[in-house]
């Protein structure tokens, strides 16, 4: 059975990935499981796929295990694609969800807008111990509005609407069915299944 290190300490992501790979002959461990003090790699790629590759390569080399890494974020059309790869630290070094959302609202207000088309993106890279690489991407198109609704999810979800509902109003299962991460994971599961045969 192939042992894969998932390059995250986020328990929500670990669960999502384990669920998506339930039928695969893989043993999944996360950074949280291996009790490592590894410093994080510098994610200085220009795209989500670049950053997922940087992370996957780094943790594969550091742990000696095959590795799966993800990178994700929000692109807002009226803001020229921002925050993009800077989504986690949009409002600065000590950014958190609340400060990032406040900045998002402020930037749209500066433009005199009440909404903008937007998309979440997720990129996944798997690297095996022999250097073989598999990659997948997922998209979720929606709209950013100035009004926050809902308390589920995380990050920009209360401001990200698909139809009449914000992502923060959806259950985990509903979000997974339409989300960027759900799509990228389903595509990766298909590729991994074939690769591991
Ligand atoms: P990372 O891929 O975990 O580094 O996530 C980057 C950032 O993108 C997060 O901190 C969030 O701000 C944002 N983001 C990524 N996926 C989602 C999502 O599903 N909902 C809300 N925000 C997200």
Instruction: Give the containing element (helix H, strand E) for 17.
Output: helix 11-20
pLDDT, mean of residues 149-171: 96
Which of 45, 154, 175 best tests ligand 1's pocket when mutated (most atoms within 8 Å of CB)? 154
Domain that holds residue 52: 2-195
Instruction: Report the pLDDT averaged over residues 145-152.
Output: 97
pLDDT of residue 110: 98
Query: For position 32, which CATH number holds?
Result: 3.90.950.10
Whole-prediction pTM: 0.95
Predicted confidence (pLDDT) per residue in 45-62, tens digit: 999 999 999 999 999 999
Backbone angles phi, psi at 97, to 5 degrees: -55, -45
Cβ pair 168, 157 in contact under 8 A = yes
pLDDT of 12: 82
Q: Give yes or no for residue 71 CB within 6 A of ligand 1.
A: yes
Judge whether 33 counts as a catalytic residue: no
User: Among residues 23, 71, 130, 176, which one is catalytic?
Assistant: 71
Cα–Cα dist 153/70, whole Å: 17
Q: Does the pLDDT of residue 99 top 80, yes or no?
A: yes
Overall size of the chain counted in residues: 197
For the chain, what is the domain count?
1
HEC profile of 89-156: HCCCCCCCHHHHHHHHHHHHHHCCCCEEEEEEEEEEEEECCCCCEEEEEEEEEEEEECCCCCCCCCCC
Query: Could you tell me the distance, in angstroms and rounded to a whole number, from the CA of residue 114 to the centre of ligand 1?
Result: 22
Tell me, using a 6 A CB cutoff, whether residue 73 lines ligand 1. Answer: yes
């Amino acid at each position: 059975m192939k042992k894969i290190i998932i390059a995250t300490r986020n328990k929500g992501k670990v669960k999502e990935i384990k669920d998506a790979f339930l039928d695969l002959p893989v043993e999944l461990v996360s950074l949280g499981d291996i009790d490592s003090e590894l410093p994080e790699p510098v994610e200085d790629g220009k795209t989500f796929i670049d950053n997922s590759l940087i992370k996957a390569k780094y943790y594969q080399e550091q742990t000696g295990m095959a590795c799966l890494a993800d990178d994700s974020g929000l692109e807002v059309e009226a803001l020229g694609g921002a925050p993009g790869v800077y989504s986690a630290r949009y409002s600065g070094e000590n950014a958190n969800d609340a400060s990032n959302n406040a900045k998002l609202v402020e930037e749209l207000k500066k433009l005199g807008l009440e909404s903008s088309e937007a998309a979440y993106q997720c990129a996944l890279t798997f690297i095996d111990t022999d250097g073989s690489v598999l990659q997948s991407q997922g998209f979720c198109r929606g709209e950013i509005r100035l009004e926050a609704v809902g308390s589920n999810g995380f990050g920009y979800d209360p401001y990200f609407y698909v139809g009449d509902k914000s992502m923060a109003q959806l259950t985990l299962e509903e979000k997974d069915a339409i989300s960027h991460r759900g799509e990228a994971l389903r595509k990766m599961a298909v590729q991994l299944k074939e690769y591991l045969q």
